Amino acid sequence: MSVQPAFPAFLRLEGVGKSFAENRVLVDVDLEIRPGEVLALLGANGAGKSTLVKIIAGSHAHDAGQLRVDGEEVRFASPHDARRHGIVAVHQQVEQGVVPGLSVAENLLLDELCGAGSLFFRPGEALKRAAEIAAGLELHLPLQAPIETLGTAERQLVILSRALALKPRLLILDEPTASLSTLEAERLFHVIDRLRERGVAILYISHRLSDLQRVADRALVLRDGRLVGEFSAPLDLGAAVESMLGAALGEVQLQPLQRGETVLSLRDWQLEAHSAAFDLDLHEGEVVALTGLLGAGKSEIAEVLFGLRKHHGGSIRLDGRDWLPRTPREAIAAGVFFAAEDRARNSRVPGFSVRASMTLPFLRSFSRFGFIDRNAERARVAEQIEALDIKGPGQEFALELLSGGNQQKVILARWLLGQGRVLILDEPFQGVDVRARRDIGLRIRASAAGRATLVICSDPDEALEIADRILVVRDGAVVAELPRHDLQRSEILAHLTPSNPSRQETVRI
């Protein structure tokens, strides 16, 4: 990591402020970033990071202060205006970066299709150009398939590839690895290293502290809309977290849970025809993590258990009886609950309040003679808000007004309202800060009695924080079971790729 301090700043912010009505989101922010520098921006959910990014990228106008690019004062009218100055942002919300109904290739070409000369693209030329853009991140994707067929992580990589094709002078990456596994994230880091060598400035926002240790030259800490700390590499992460939260985050010891009877069993189970068969038992009272690379089949296994897709072969037993849900309604009725990875697309209803979002699947339990007992509903919601320390203006405010971490807590609270036998959480820590991550993990384990819990984590560190057992998925099959006790991150990584010789035709877990 070599910063060249002799270079003048590409971007400088001086006293920048922003308010929404009477809410002051940013106050007197000074910041500069130089060519070839990776500047990390840290802050808890709601600290103002996304607002600051949107000002720099042209989505929001600032109320106070100045922005300077190459020493010249600028005021961006739109993201397109910012891109003309060489500033390209990849935002955290994946659904905002792709266009449903278009193919993967068309999404890769989106900026070029909207520009001059797009009418002269022939289909063959378009596919060739899309392949060139995908090669920026060494992606091998079905270019003619609809973008909806890709998972969240693959769509994120499409957005990143498109941003790189614009040849930015400043690249803003907001939680770029939130949906990526360790190896995919490392591939991105190598790209960042190459961009740094070419003199591209990078503003990097992430709650994965290990990311920041790997890529950042400097880190600035934002709290309550103000810059409150600056750290140089190698980063003192403990001090940075304390600066970010305003207090030290105490360590939590993972206490073993009492493992009970078998709740869910898979026997000779195959996700796809080409997948190896495996057996799996999930027990009452334990938390099991499922980890693997992008496309390994983690989410697909969960979708079968929730009635969203079919599997190729083998049996499923729930509480000792043969069982196979045909729809999510059947799964929920049997006590199998699933919080999907893409919160905005699968777990959130636009305009719904915190209360309505939380109680949506279980309104019958609050109904009496066809009428909903609102007092009982509000009381249960208040219990969950207190238990998960959900911060927000109140039960009746729209869910999307909450920070990302608090939205994630509401989705978890939704499924804790019901009497579930199996709780499946796909990437529950995605895009949340360290305090919210700890709160969510503690609540998952504290409420684990009486059900089996399966947590899907792309990040091995998250799996180590939450689980009693860790299962590694590869090519649609569980290929390893790793007890949590004394387990090292390196042991998980060793099972992620096919080079591990211990793989057998049928794995018994």
Angle at 277 between CA 460 and CA 178, to 5 degrees: 25
Residue 33 lies in a domain: yes
What local confidence, expressed as pLDDT, does residue 506 receive? 43
Residue 308: C-alpha distances to residues 82, 297, 304, 435 (Å): 41, 14, 6, 32
Residue 345 lies in a domain: no
What local confidence, expressed as pLDDT, does residue 508 receive? 44
Whether residues 20 and 149 fall in one domain = no
Whether residues 114 and 216 fall in one domain = no
Last residue of a domain, one of 359, 392, 418: 418
**Rounded-to-integer distance, Cα 93 and Cα 91, Å:** 6
Whether residues 327 and 432 fall in one domain = yes
Of the candidates 29, 477, 34, 425, the one whose C-alpha atom is nearest the C-alpha of residue 226 is 29
What local confidence, expressed as pLDDT, does residue 119 receive? 45
Residue 342 lies in a domain: no
What total number of domains does the chain contain? 4
Provide the CATH number for the domain around residue 44: 3.40.50.300
Q: Furthest-apart CA pair in the chain: how many Å?
A: 74
Whether residues 409 and 274 fall in one domain = no
Whether residues 77 and 121 fall in one domain = no
Last residue of a domain, one of 230, 248, 266: 248
Residue 313 lies in a domain: yes
> Phi and psi (nearest 5°) for 18?
-150, 135
**Rounded-to-integer distance, Cα 5 and Cα 232, Å:** 13
Whether residues 60 and 108 fall in one domain = no
Whether residues 22 and 47 fall in one domain = yes
Walking along the chain (509 residues) 10 residues at a time, the average pLDDT comes out as: 61 93 88 95 86 92 94 92 93 80 89 60 80 85 89 85 91 87 85 92 90 91 92 86 76 71 96 94 95 89 95 95 94 93 73 91 83 90 90 87 83 88 92 82 90 92 90 93 86 78 42
Whether residues 406 and 428 fall in one domain = no
Residue 509 lies in a domain: yes
Whether residues 186 and 330 fall in one domain = no
Residue 454 lies in a domain: yes
**Rounded-to-integer distance, Cα 160 and Cα 184, Å:** 12
Structure tokens at 12: 């400088």
**Rounded-to-integer distance, Cα 87 and Cα 233, Å:** 24
Last residue of a domain, one of 358, 383, 418: 418
**Rounded-to-integer distance, Cα 110 and Cα 412, Å:** 35
Amino acid (1-letter code) at residue 320: G
Whether residues 29 and 55 fall in one domain = yes
Whether residues 431 and 503 fall in one domain = yes
Whether residues 387 and 443 fall in one domain = no
Residue 371 lies in a domain: yes
- Number of Cβ within 10 Å of residue 250's Cβ equals 6
Residue 58 lies in a domain: yes
Amino acid (1-letter code) at residue 466: I
Range of the structural domain that residue 139 is part of = 101-167
